[in-house]
Structure 1
Amino acid sequence: MMSEHEVSDSSSRPHVDIWTDGGCKPNPGPGGWGVLLRFQGREREMKGGDPETTNNRMELTAAAVALETLTRPCTVCLYTDSEYLRNGITRWHTGWVRRNWRNASGDPVANMDLWRRILDISKKHDVEWHWVKAHAGHAENERVDQLATEGREELTREP
């Protein structure tokens, strides 16, 4: 199993598959995120939450945490069911950066702190961003959905 700070000891760029998910109930409200990393047949799961957040912030947090876990440059296939995350990172961010982190309407970009975090850590890796349909029987996507729910529920459990 990978430790928090170790992905591979090989000298070549390792390949890592990552699945991420996040959500809130209600939105906004308590939220959770989940991550599944797969490297050389080994898996690592992570989850967490925030007592007051949004679905989009949890989706972005999951991706940021997953990429920050990698301690050396990797080739990454990252799978998300969030079109917001995938479109933001593959299409919209160039305009935001060009407009000094303003959207097309001239307003500050929502979740700018997380977008910057993801863009910064992504520079270290070769990341391919893949969208998968949610709740469509994709085993890894279902697992990270479950982890995100657990992350949220752990915040709201009575002691």
Structure 2
Amino acid sequence: MDFRQHTPYRLHTQTECRNPCGAIQVFSDGAYFKQYHLGGWGVAIYQNERLVKTLKGIQTSHSSLEMELVAAIQALTWLQRHYPKHTIALYTDAQILLEGLFSKYANWQTQHWKSRNGNPVAYATHWQQLYQLVAAQSVDIFWIKAHAKHPQNELVDHLARAQILQAQDDSVQVPPSNDS
């Protein structure tokens, strides 16, 4: 068993749950198909183990990281509007989100959004937006292993991938990415 799957990560130490009976569980995932230069994202929101809402989208993209960030941002933005005072458990299969938020973010800020090698941090605007959303809400973030037959994670993976495949089938006009 991987300990990371059961370890909550949070930006601030809030010991008291604001809404213990109604904690919101949100699962987010992003997908990227390089051959199409398209990314999709999917979100599933649960309250008391009941599916409340699914969200999904597609855009021109440059990487799977971008889509993982977009998925988490879309989830937390929606939750901020609809469940502003609830405790949120965000589940992601993207370890890089945890690493970026909890290990690298402070260094990026100090280094004026430059990486160690002096290049601009990829998707800095997305990182900043995600950080602000997590800091503004009571959010615990959990890592779950991808493609491990976890039903909620499989659902959001399907939502993200289906967006790309449907766009290819339908020749849908895809919105461009906001950050490159």
Query: Shorter-normalised TM-score: what interval?
Result: 0.7 to 0.9
Find the counterpart in structure 1 of residue 44 from structure 2: 36
Alignment of 1:61 with 2:73, yes or no, is no
Q: 1:79 aligns with which of 81, 91, 94?
A: 91
Q: 1:89 aligns with which of 89, 101, 118?
A: 101
For structure 2, the residue ranges without an aligned partner over 5 or more in a row are 1-17, 172-180
For structure 1, the residue ranges without an aligned partner over 5 or more in a row are 1-11
TM-score, with structure 2 as normaliser: 0.76
Deviating more after overlay: 12-21 vs 103-112: 12-21
1:43: Cα distance to partner?
2.1
Question: After TM superposition, which residue ranges in structure 1, 4 or more long, deviate above 6 angstroms?
Answer: none
User: Identity, % of aligned pairs?
Assistant: 30
1:42: Cα distance to partner?
4.0
1:123: Cα distance to partner?
2.0
1:75: Cα distance to partner?
1.4
Does the 8 A contact of 1:68 with 1:121 survive in 2? yes
Find the counterpart in structure 2 of residue 119 from structure 1: 131
User: How big is each residue's C-alpha offset from its partner over 1:10-58, in whole Å with a ceiling of 9 and x where there is no partner?
Assistant: xx54521111100111278111000011124342111101133311110
TM-score, with structure 1 as normaliser: 0.85
Instruction: Sort the Cα spacing of 1:102 and 1:81 in 2 relative to 1 into closer, same or farther, 3 A.
Output: same
Alignment of 1:49 with 2:49, yes or no, is no
Give the superposed CA RMSD: 1.7
Give the number of equivalent residue pairs: 148
